[in-house]
């Protein structure tokens, strides 16, 4: 028993000595520990903000896959491979154009109208010093996020804008003229609109509000698409001499549906990432609100479009329901931050109805938009930008309207000039034979579905 008691007293003395040493260490080291904790807090916010930009950007980039699936399934099988090539080309062109000049025009040294014409973009000097081994953590962290993570997030938005145009003029536009227009859109048209708004230009100074791009992204793509379809004209045989419209249903409804779901998923990065921060509890709560509003609007758009499809289109239309989801997403993009979540349902539902009306209206005026990009992105982009004033009382209706008109006039006019120039110089439209055979065979020398027999179309009885 004495031996056990002695061992117990020895252990107690050891614990007391260790505790004393730790206490003295904390007293001496306390200032260092405090400053390290303070630095860690700033670094944590920096890391979370940067990580948020990168992850949301990757999710928005995945929307390119959604557009590819939607468009390749919406066109006839003889043009599916061309759609795939165009969409991967769009992303590549948009990325390089935004790196070379676009970002600088949009965000660097922006005046009232435009930013810097300086070429190329890179990390900040502090970040380069940090990567070189210098002690520059403080200067880097003070920016709040990595410079290139912000560039990456901004770049995928311009790629989304360009993707909108592809589906509208599908099945009759040549590859290289289309790529030429994509270059102009990504390098100049979109960045100039961005400079007016997100870059701090004249519309931003007026108070124009567009949280994630109902106008800046979607309406820009819609106006460019409208100019394109008017210049290039409808597909051969789409509108018959007797005034009827030739049905061109999606060739692969599974691909179209998958594309819409991918776009829906990517939209969480599109709108959620536009919070532009995840370094505080406020940012996290706000981001949650944005994502829920985004989801509710899409659901409402689907149901509203399906509800009106029978009286407007004569049937319960799957394509209308799928476009209704996109319409709801576009409509809520300008203002997904409001705390009264029911507004998201109202805004999304109205968007779904407007999109279905737009699809029907374009047929009436004989404007051939293959995938319904103009109703979904242009019409609903306008609606969403105006609806921001309903959910956000601080947003001025007149300023929103001025922004819509200014962006519309600029983008449509410049796009019309570029499309017309391309059409009159190198030619915008494929030959009649290429349109009959399909662009896959005529331009690419391949078929998307080689197990099926290719049947060239006959346009003799059509306009």
What pLDDT was estimated at residue 453? Answer: 62
Which stretch of 234-238, 243-247, 305-309, 393-397 has the lowest confidence by average pLDDT? 243-247
Q: Above 70 in pLDDT, residue 228?
A: yes
Cβ of 239: how many Cβ atoms within 10 Å? Answer: 19
What pLDDT was estimated at residue 313? Answer: 85
What pLDDT was estimated at residue 449? Answer: 75
Residue 145 has what DSSP assignment?
A: S
Using pLDDT thresholds of 50, 70 and 90, give the confidence band for residue 248: confident
Indicate the average pLDDT of the chain: 89
Which stretch of 224-228, 322-326, 453-457 has the lowest confidence by average pLDDT? 453-457
Report how far residue 254's alpha carbon sits from residue 322's, in angstroms, rounded to the nearest whole number.
Answer: 11
Which structure tokens are listed for 111? Answer: 């005046």
Q: Above 80 in pLDDT, residue 13?
A: no
- Gyration radius of the chain over CA positions: 27
Report how far residue 390's alpha carbon sits from residue 65's, in angstroms, rounded to the nearest whole number.
Answer: 33
Residue 419's SS3 state is helix
Torsion over CA: 143, 144, 146, 151 (sign):
negative
Report how far residue 262's alpha carbon sits from residue 186's, in angstroms, rounded to the nearest whole number.
Answer: 23
Report how far residue 190's alpha carbon sits from residue 39's, in angstroms, rounded to the nearest whole number.
Answer: 38
Using pLDDT thresholds of 50, 70 and 90, give the confidence band for residue 459: low
Region 297-309: mean pLDDT is 97
What pLDDT was estimated at residue 27? Answer: 38
Region 283-306: mean pLDDT is 97
Of the CA atoms within 13 Å of residue 319, those in its CB half-sphere come to: 22
Name the residue with tokens 């200014």.
406
- The residue among 239, 242, 246, 65 whose CA lies nearest residue 159 is 65
357 contacts: CB under 8 Å, gap ≥ 6: 308, 312, 375
Q: Above 50 in pLDDT, residue 331?
A: yes
What pLDDT was estimated at residue 238? Answer: 87
What pLDDT was estimated at residue 30? Answer: 41
Which stretch of 19-33, 318-332, 373-387, 406-420 has the lowest confidence by average pLDDT? 19-33
Which structure tokens are listed for 447? Answer: 């078929």
Residues in the chain: 463
For residue 429, the cross-strand partners are 173
Q: What is the pLDDT of residues 153-208, one digit of tens each?
A: 999 999 999 999 999 999 999 999 999 999 999 999 999 999 999 999 999 999 99
Report how far residue 443's alpha carbon sits from residue 293's, in angstroms, rounded to the nearest whole number.
Answer: 43
Residue 248's SS3 state is coil
Region 355-374: mean pLDDT is 94
Using pLDDT thresholds of 50, 70 and 90, give the confidence band for residue 5: very low
Range from 259-268, 356-365, 427-436 that averages highest in pLDDT: 259-268
As a dihedral over the C-alpha atoms of residue 137, residue 141, residue 142, residue 145, rounded to 10 degrees, the angle is 150
Region 294-309: mean pLDDT is 97
Region 421-437: mean pLDDT is 94
Which stretch of 209-213, 243-247, 358-362 has the lowest confidence by average pLDDT? 243-247
Using pLDDT thresholds of 50, 70 and 90, give the confidence band for residue 303: very high
What pLDDT was estimated at residue 20? Answer: 45
Of residues 142 and 249, the one with the higher pLDDT is 142
Q: Above 70 in pLDDT, residue 35?
A: no
- The residue among 329, 194, 324 whose CA lies nearest residue 264 is 329
Residue 62's alpha-carbon distances to 218, 321, 330, in angstroms, are 17, 22, 17
Q: Above 50 in pLDDT, residue 17?
A: no
Fold of the domain built from segment(s) 59-429? Ammonium transporter fold (1.10.3430)
Which structure tokens are listed for 161? Answer: 């804008």
Region 246-252: mean pLDDT is 85
Which structure tokens are listed for 274? Answer: 């536009």
Q: What is the pLDDT of residues 115-133, one digit of tens each?
A: 999 999 989 999 999 999 8
Of residues 11 and 345, the one with the higher pLDDT is 345
């Amino acid at each position: 028993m004495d031996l056990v008691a002695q061992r117990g007293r020895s252990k107690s003395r050891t614990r007391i000595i260790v505790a004393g040493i730790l206490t003295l260490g904390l007293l001496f080291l306390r200032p260092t520990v405090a400053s390290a904790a303070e630095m860690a807090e700033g670094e944590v916010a920096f890391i979370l903000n940067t990580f948020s930009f990168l992850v949301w950007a990757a999710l928005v980039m995945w929307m390119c896959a959604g557009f590819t699936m939607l468009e390749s399934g919406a066109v006839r099988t003889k043009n599916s491979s061309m759609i795939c090539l165009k969409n991967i080309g769009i992303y590549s062109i948009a990325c390089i154009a935004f790196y070379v000049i676009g970002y600088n025009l949009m965000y660097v040294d922006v005046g009232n109208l435009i930013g810097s014409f300086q070429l190329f973009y890179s990390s900040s000097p502090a970040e380069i010093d940090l990567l070189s081994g210098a002690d520059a953590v403080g200067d880097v962290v003070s920016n709040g996020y990595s410079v290139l993570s912000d560039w990456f997030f901004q770049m995928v938005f311009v790629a989304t804008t360009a993707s909108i145009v592809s589906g509208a003029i599908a099945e009759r536009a040549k590859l290289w003229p289309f790529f030429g227009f994509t270059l102009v859109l990504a390098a100049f048209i979109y960045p100039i609109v961005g400079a007016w708004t997100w870059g701090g230009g004249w519309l931003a100074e007026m108070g124009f509000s567009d949280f994630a791009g109902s106008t800046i992204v979607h309406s820009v793509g819609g106006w460019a698409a409208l100019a394109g379809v008017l210049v290039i004209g409808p597909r051969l045989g789409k509108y018959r001499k007797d005034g009827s419209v030739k049905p061109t249903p999606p060739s692969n409804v599974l691909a179209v549906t998958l594309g819409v779901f991918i776009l829906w998923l990517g939209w969480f990065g599109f709108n959620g990432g536009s919070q532009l921060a995840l370094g505080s509890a406020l940012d996290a709560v706000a981001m949650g609100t944005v994502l829920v509003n985004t989801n509710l609007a899409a659901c409402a758009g689907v149901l509203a479009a399906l509800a009106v499809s029978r009286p407007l289109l004569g049937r319960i239309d799957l394509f209308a329901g799928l476009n209704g989801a996109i319409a709801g997403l576009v409509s809520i993009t300008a203002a997904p931050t409001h705390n009264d979540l029911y507004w998201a349902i109202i805004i999304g539902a109205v968007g779904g109805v407007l999109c279905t009306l737009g699809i029907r209206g374009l047929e009436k005026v004989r404007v051939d938009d293959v995938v319904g990009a103009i109703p979904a992105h242009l019409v609903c982009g306008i609606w969403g930008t105006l609806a921001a004033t309903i959910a956000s009382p601080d947003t001025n209706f007149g300023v929103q309207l001025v922004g819509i008109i200014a962006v519309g006039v600029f983008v449509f006019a410049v796009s019309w000039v570029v499309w017309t120039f391309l059409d009159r110089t190198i030619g915008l439209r494929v030959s009649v034979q290429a349109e009959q055979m399909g662009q896959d065979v005529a331009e690419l020398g391949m078929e998307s579905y080689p197990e099926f027999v290719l049947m060239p179309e006959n346009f003799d009885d059509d306009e």
